[in-house]
Amino acid sequence: MSEVLGLIQVGAKTDCPLDAFMDPISARFPWFNVQVFTPFPDPREALDSRRNQYHSTRILTMLEAQIPRLHVDRLLGIAPFDLYVPGMNFVFGEARSPGRVGVISTCRLKTQSPNESELFHNRVVKEAVHEIAHMTGLKHCSDKTCVMYFSERLADTDHKKSEFCERCHSKIREMLRIEQ
Ligand SMILES: [Zn+2]
Ligand SMILES: [Zn+2]
């Protein structure tokens, strides 16, 4: 039986319909049954109003609390607002590694012009795949074209592919087999 991976919008404001990400995520994680869930409300308690950013680790805790209700094995939140962890100006995403929850922000992935929607879509896929892989226990990769390369800036995200390098691909398979 395959694990259920849930995708959930965090906060009511939708800037990308999650259905569009089901196929690309399923293609990279064929071991998971990917499902989309309705949004959960704005996680006010995670907001630092002085920074105007949300503390991503607090959101992970809130997502963990949703797992029994949604009957999923793992859950990835997609948030439209900016995320941070203390000690960093911002993060594109964060995940428990290994663990059951992750979150990404689409805030810094937005493009200048609306006709670059494919670029935006690809960026979201890359960040989502990256955090889901962290959830399985995969670590960062030194290959700049691998989806597991750490993105310090958007240029890093644009440079890397949405796929795993050969080494990461075999590692993830190894890890998932151990878990089952
Ligand atoms: Zn990472
Ligand atoms: Zn890699």
Average confidence (pLDDT) per 10 residues, the chain, 180 residues:
92 82 96 93 94 98 96 97 96 97 96 90 97 97 98 97 97 77
Instruction: Tell me if the pTM is above 0.85.
Output: yes
Give the Å distance between the CA of 68 and the centre of ligand 2.
32
Q: What is the pLDDT of residue 30?
A: 92
- Predicted pLDDT of residue 114: 79
Sign of CA dihedral 173, 174, 176, 180: positive
pLDDT at 13 (0 to 100): 72
Give the ligand at the shortest distance from the Cα of 170. Answer: 2
- pLDDT, residue 177, reads 77
Which residues are identified as catalytic? 131
Distance 35 CA to ligand 2 centre (A): 26
- pLDDT of 179 reads 53
Cα 163 to ligand 1 centre (Å): 14
DSSP 80: S
Sheet containing strand 47-48, edge to edge, reads 47-48, 53-55, 83-84
pLDDT at res. 151: 96
Note the ligand closest to the C-alpha atom of 147.
Answer: 2
CA dihedral 129, 130, 135, 137 (to 10 degrees): 120
Q: What is the pLDDT of residue 12?
A: 75
Q: Which ligand is nearest to the CA of 156?
A: 1
